[in-house]
């Protein structure tokens, strides 16, 4: 995404093009844009930038939120994490 170049792999290039409008980079960090799925909600709900968390830091972030923001149950921990961070497997990792 930083170089605006696609890899030679057609399958990966297609997947990249389909989701590229959902991601931005700022100061070397990758963010996923969380937009409302329903058109009427898009009028009232703001677009939220969620930091994409690398695999190496996933447990550190979960531990930090759990210890410093309250000892949440899984659903509450997931809601708190998902409002700030993005990972495809975030719910499974939080439980």
DSSP summary character for residue 42: H
Predicted pLDDT at 26:
82
Predicted pLDDT at 86:
84
Alpha-carbon distance 55 to 38, whole Å?
A: 31
Compute the C-alpha angle 56/67/50, nearest 5°: 50
Question: Can you spell out the DSSP letters for 46-68?
Answer: PPEEEEEPPGGGHHHHHHHHHHH
Predicted pLDDT at 31:
87
Minimal CA–CA distance to 85: which of 66, 73, 71, 70? 66
Predicted pLDDT at 30:
84
What residue spans define the domains of the chain?
A: 1-52, 54-95
**36 SS3 class:** coil
pLDDT tens-digit profile, the chain (95 residues): 555 666 666 776 766 666 667 777 888 888 888 776 666 655 666 677 888 888 888 888 888 888 887 766 777 888 888 888 888 777 787 77
Contacts of 26 (CB under 8 A, 6+ apart): 49
Predicted pLDDT at 78:
80
């Amino acid at each position: 995404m930083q170089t605006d170049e696609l890899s030679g792999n057609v399958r990966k290039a297609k997947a990249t093009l389909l989701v590229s409008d959902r991601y931005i980079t700022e100061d070397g960090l990758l963010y996923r844009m969380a937009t409302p799925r329903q058109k009427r909600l898009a009028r009232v709900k703001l677009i939220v930038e969620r930091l994409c968390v690398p695999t190496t830091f996933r447990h550190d972030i979960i531990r930090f939120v759990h210890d410093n923001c309250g000892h949440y149950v899984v659903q509450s921990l997931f809601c708190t994490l998902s409002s700030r961070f993005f990972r495809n497997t975030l719910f499974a990792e939080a439980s």
